[in-house]
């Protein structure tokens, strides 16, 4: 393995996309800080390690499974893959083997963290569900990304599980309250995915992928606008569960929402900026409350 191949293998991990996962993790920490008034640094490091490893595993598996569409699509910051496997700099089997190794390491860390009391059983369940949903998002036999369930699967992973793997180790438990609080975030991730997959729709359709965006076709923009509106409609009711500052912080992202709706077809990446803005502003709301 030469230096070019090592760099290419690292590039498959798409570390830039990983930033969104870290932002979601920070949101979970901010929720825990609001509830507890403090954070355990070691538990935060463990949770972040699990999130990063599991997310990278999903990225490598996705690159392996998507070589057909990634070969013919136009790449953007958030869509189209890394471009490494289509270039044939490294064998595609390297991506699959890397995903398997990363999953194995994630499982080992999870088991040890549970054994030594740093991760509650609910945290183990979150990791298990996340690994299942992340792997079968792109891999057989489910390959959810090739159906209308792919966007939903990914939204649940990014909107619920990523913040919760930060929150649960700190607090030690999980309740329905946290699930409800994160619904606007799930909707923001879903809206982001509509934008990301809109960029890939022609390549996906030509390769037989029936994503939700492919099936919706031109109706995607309408669904995108409706779910963008739902982010704020549902956030109004959070006033009964979270401080007013959190709700106000979410509503401060409305300019990003309007931009993403207006520029959807011309700039699908605007939906990704909206998703990150919702998570960042929600985090700030919890921190200052």
Q: What is the pTM of this model?
A: 0.94
Over residues 208-259, the pLDDT tens digits come to 889 999 999 999 999 999 999 999 999 999 999 999 999 999 999 999 999 9
Over residues 10-38, the pLDDT tens digits come to 888 887 788 999 999 999 999 999 999 99
Over residues 128-176, the pLDDT tens digits come to 999 999 999 999 999 999 999 999 999 999 999 999 999 999 999 999 9
pLDDT at 81: 64
Confidence of residue 125 (pLDDT cuts 50, 70, 90): very high
| pLDDT, average across residues 2-8 | 83
Contact 71, 86 (CB under 8 A): yes
* Residue 77 pLDDT greater than 60, yes or no: no
* Residue 73 pLDDT greater than 80, yes or no: no
pLDDT at 80: 61
What share of the chain in percent tops pLDDT 70? 96
Confidence of residue 76 (pLDDT cuts 50, 70, 90): low
- CATH numbers and ranges of domains, the chain: 3-288 (1.10.600)
| pLDDT, average across residues 107-122 | 97
Contact 135, 153 (CB under 8 A): no
């Amino acid at each position: 393995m030469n230096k070019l191949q090592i760099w290419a293998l690292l590039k498959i991990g798409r570390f830039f996309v990983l930033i969104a996962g870290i932002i979601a993790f920070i949101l979970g920490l901010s929720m825990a800080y609001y509830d507890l008034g403090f954070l355990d640094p070691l538990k935060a490091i463990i949770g972040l390690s699990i999130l990063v490893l599991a997310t990278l595993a999903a990225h490598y598996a996705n690159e392996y499974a998507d070589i057909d569409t990634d070969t013919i699509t136009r790449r953007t910051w958030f869509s189209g893959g890394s471009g490494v496997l289509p270039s044939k700099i490294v064998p595609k089997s390297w991506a699959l083997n890397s995903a398997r190794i990363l999953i194995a390491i994630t499982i080992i860390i999870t088991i040890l963290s549970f054994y030594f009391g740093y991760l509650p059983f609910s945290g183990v369940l979150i990791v298990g569900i996340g690994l299942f949903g992340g792997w079968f998002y792109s891999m057989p036999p489910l390959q959810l990304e090739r159906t209308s369930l792919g966007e939903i699967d990914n939204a649940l992973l990014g909107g619920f599980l990523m913040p919760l793997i930060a929150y649960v180790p700190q607090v030690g438990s999980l309740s329905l309250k946290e699930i409800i609080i994160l619904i606007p975030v799930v909707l923001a991730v879903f809206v982001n995915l509509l934008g990301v997959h809109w960029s890939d729709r022609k390549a996906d359709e030509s390769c037989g992928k029936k994503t939700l965006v492919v099936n919706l076709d031109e109706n995607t923009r309408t669904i995108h606008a409706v779910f963008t509106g739902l982010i704020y409609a549902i956030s109004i009711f959070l006033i009964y569960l979270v401080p007013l500052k959190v709700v106000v912080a979410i509503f401060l992202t409305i300019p990003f929402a309007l931009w993403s709706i207006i520029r959807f077809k011309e700039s699908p990446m605007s939906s990704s900026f909206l998703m990150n803005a919702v998570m960042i502003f929600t985090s700030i709301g919890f921190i200052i409350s």
